[in-house]
Chains A and B, each alone.
Chain A
Amino acid sequence: MEKEVQPFEFKQCVTVPKSTGKSAKNLRKLRQLLRRVTDESIIHHTCQYFSYGHVLEHTNGFAQWVAESLGEKALSEHLSNIDPYDFWSIEDLRHELLKAIDSRLQVPPRPRDAMGGDEFFFSEAITLVFPAHIRALNLAEFLIGIRYIDKSSIYYHFYEARIRLKGETDDFSKWFASSLANEGLADKIGSIDPFMHTLEEVRKHIVEIVEDEIKKTMEERSA
């Protein structure tokens, strides 16, 4: 008997930022607070940064702030190069961020303070996850779904999943591999670099890859 395919349930999420009440006006204070803020705050300024669609030259809130408010371009590049999904724990990620800041603090000149009102404000967020009421049982249905869903669903399955699944993969790749037994497709989706794309670009790439896969299957069948 053929194994029943587990459907892919599209979900989406929204975050509502919550202030921690802590702010830093310079790099030393940022370092001091970074050591003791909650894991949720670190996640908010790194992983959840992507949900706001700010994919410019920075990849996290710390990198953006040191560049724009302190003029620390080299440190910003260093921080931007830290992949938050590359760590087993938020503690490790925190340690890497601190290491980058320390390497800057050890050399002159002394970094300047941010202008009043331009401090770094540590936040956290509450996250609400809810079904998009779209379910796919095969690739063709998945293609319609991925085209239709909101950007926040791409964020949930492609970015947030990496925290949920402890950096293993994203929800899409996981479903292609485990439910459709299509490791090749899973690898192609898994190789899209989350750092280098906006949510809409990620959607575009997934659509292209899945379309190619469907086309290939149809051609193979008719051959």
Chain B
Amino acid sequence: MITEYTGIAPKGDLLLLQKLGEKLAGKSFLHINSTRLGGGVAEILQRMVPILKELGIEARWEVIEGDEQFFHITKKIHNALQGKAIKISREMWEYHFEVNRQNAERLSPEADAIFIHDPQPAPMVEFRKGGKWIWRCHIDLSKPVKNVAAFLKRYCEKYDAAIFSVAKFVMPMAIDQFIILPSIDPLSEKNRDLTGKEIAEATGRLYIPLDRPILLQVSRFDRFKDPIGVIQIYRMVKKYNDCILVLAGSPATDDPEGAAVLKEVKEFAGDDPDIHILLLPPDADRDVNVLQRVATIVLQKSLKEGFGLTISEGMWKGKPVIGGAVGGIPMQIIDGVNGFLVHSVEGAAFRARQLLNNAEMAKEMGERGRDHVRTNFLMTRQIRDYLSVWYFLEQGGKTILEL
């Protein structure tokens, strides 16, 4: 499996993966999260576990079980950690702990390294018997509800290390805290190379015309993704350059506001035949891939963002990107080099016009973007970093490690 990445991922990443594999071969590596399907964490684990096994590491992936009440509580904790004013009662925390205790009994979390993903299984650390325990936080903790973060911190500080996606998401704690950027899998259905036939089939089925430049935003119908702003951008651009707009997203079943936002977007779009609002099923990865490949410009005009990996996905397909300067987007876009960072609808419209009027610049930015993703945002780099953290802990915390 790892050989499939040869010629795609940087040679050095693959070499280091092998080196770390040699050092950690025969050791056990357990990952625990809260869902087997759906979401970026499960997506990465599905691909990562077989690669780790191929490297000689005894990798295992377990999922915690809980009833509706448990997941209702963890959703609330999640939202509070992301800044929504929500109170988590003592009883809720107790239930959260109790379900984790039952899972610890069922799963017997014993391994040389244990990665616990996100807050749902965080209390699992209370039942540690041995090995290195690492808490991997995938969510934005930059403005949490303070007492919710403080409660969670009691568990987190019992880990040997924590990993966050962006420096500003880090929670002050007295343990080693690493910054490991998220990644995309270049071989997944969402990012692999497609044939002309596959592209033609999907664009035909989705009624996407290919006779004019396409502005694309792929995101949930969520106000923080600013879909209305994207339509405004398109209208400003359209005055000067004939183009079409594709807004594609999955219905957000866990977000009661999703339907209302979609309705607003449809009303705002009116009867413009050049605005294509696509409601895709959650597993429509290939369709997303097709849309990103036929797009002229990929937008992610978010007002608030976790990391915004749609930027990396667009860049990987060699597209110029325009992103709101929020969340993890500035980590991906080097302004004016591999895309544009914008702060307003007007700024985004101006940059889109610039790109539509300068095909050479658009092409160069797209090429630089693909190279940037190849170096920094492929899954092989993320696995490499995970193993590096584990190896660092095994080596007693030396900061320069010769392999």
CB of B12 within 8 A of CB of A153, answer yes
- Flag A127-139 by CB within 8 Å of B: 1 or 0 each: 1111111000000
Contact (Cβ within 8 A) B402 A129: yes
Q: Which of B12, B385, B388 counts the most chain A CB atoms within 10 A?
A: B12
Asked if A14 CB lies within 8 Å of chain B CBs, one says yes
Contact A127 B403 (CB under 8 A): no
Q: Which one of B40-48, B169-177, B310-318, B353-361 is at the interface?
A: B169-177
Asked if A16 meets B15 with Cβ closer than 8 Å, knowing A54-B334, A56-B337, A124-B399, the reply is no
Of the residues A18, A54, A117, A124, contact of B168 by C-beta under 8 Å: A117
Q: By the criterion CB–CB under 8 Å, are B11 and A18 in contact? A: no
Q: Mark A48-75, 1 if CB is under 8 A from B, else 0.
A: 0000011010000000000000000000
Asked if B263 is at the interface (CB within 8 A of a chain A CB), the reply is no
Cβ of B15 to closest chain A Cβ, rounded Å: 7
CB 8 Å contact bits of B168-203 with A (1 = contact, 0 = none): 101011001111100000000000000000000000
Say how far A145's CB is from chain B's closest CB, in angstroms.
12
> Cβ of A130 and Cβ of B19 under 8 Å apart?
yes
A12 within 8 Å of B by Cβ? yes
CB pair A18 B177 closer than 8 Å = yes
8 Å CB contacts to A: which residues of B369-403?
372, 375, 384-385, 388-389, 391-392, 398-403
Q: Any chain A CB within 8 A of the CB of B167?
A: yes
B334 contact set on A, CB distance < 8 A: 54, 56
From A40, A131, A151, B399 is in contact (CB under 8 Å) with: A40
Interface status of B16 (Cβ within 8 A of chain A): yes
Task: Please tell me if the beta carbons of B172 and A12 are within 8 angstroms of each other in the complex.
Answer: no
B19 surroundings in chain A (CB, below 8 A): 130
Whether B12 contacts A12 by the Cβ 8 Å rule is yes
Say whether, besides A56-B334, A117-B142, A19 and B170 are in contact (CB < 8 Å). yes
Q: Judge whether B164 is part of the interface by a CB distance below 8 angstroms.
A: yes
Residues of chain B within 8 A of A150, CB atoms compared:
10-12
A71 to B177, CA, bound (A): 30
CB distance from B350 to the nearest CB of A (A): 19
Q: Provide the A115-154 mask, 1 if CB < 8 A to any CB of B, else 0.
A: 0110101011111111111000000000000000111110
Cβ-defined contact, A18 with B12, below 8 A: no
A14-B384, A16-B389 are contacts. A121–B170 as well, Cβ < 8 Å? yes
Q: Is A17 an interface residue (CB 8 A)?
A: yes
Residues of B within 8 A of A53 (CB): 372, 375
Q: Decide if B179 touches A128 in the complex (CB within 8 Å).
A: no
Query: How far apart are B333's CB and chain A's nearest CB, in angstroms?
Result: 12
Secondary structure of the A contact surface, majority rule: strand
Within B1-33, the residues touching A (CB, 8 Å) are: 10-13, 15-16, 19
Given contacts A117-B142, A121-B167, A121-B168, contact A132 B12 (CB under 8 A): yes
Q: Contacts A126-B399, A153-B12 known; A16 to B375 CB distance under 8 Å?
A: no
User: With the chains together, A54 CA to B15 CA distance in Å?
Assistant: 24
Decide if A151 touches B337 in the complex (CB within 8 Å): no
Give which listed residue, B15, B16, B176, B398, contacts A18 with CB less than 8 A.
B176
Contact between B399 and A128, CB atoms less than 8 A apart: no
Q: Which residues of chain A have C-beta atoms less than 8 A from B178's C-beta? A: 16-19
Chain B contacts for A12, CB-based, 8 A: 12, 15-16
The winner among B167, B179, B389 for most chain A CB atoms within 10 A is B167
A152 contact set on B, CB distance < 8 A: 10, 12
Instruction: Assess the A16–B168 pair: CB atoms within 8 A.
Output: no
Residue of chain A at shortest CB distance from B389? A16
Which chain B residues lie closer than 8 Å to A130 at the CB level? Answer: 15-16, 19, 402-403
The interface residues of chain B lying within 8 Å CB-to-CB of A14 are: 12-13, 16, 384, 388
> Given A54-B334, A126-B388, A130-B19, 12 other A-B contacts at CB below 8 A?
A16-B179, A17-B178, A19-B164, A21-B173, A121-B170, A123-B167, A128-B388, A128-B391, A128-B401, A130-B15, A131-B403, A132-B12
Kindly list the 6 A-B residue pairs having the minimum CB-CB distance in the complex, ordered from nearest. Answer: A121-B167, A150-B12, A130-B403, A17-B179, A19-B177, A19-B170
Could you show 24 A-B contacts with beta carbons less than 8 Å apart?
A: A14-B13, A16-B179, A16-B389, A18-B179, A19-B164, A19-B167, A19-B179, A116-B143, A117-B142, A119-B168, A121-B170, A124-B399, A126-B399, A126-B400, A126-B401, A128-B388, A129-B400, A129-B403, A130-B403, A133-B15, A150-B10, A150-B11, A151-B10, A152-B12
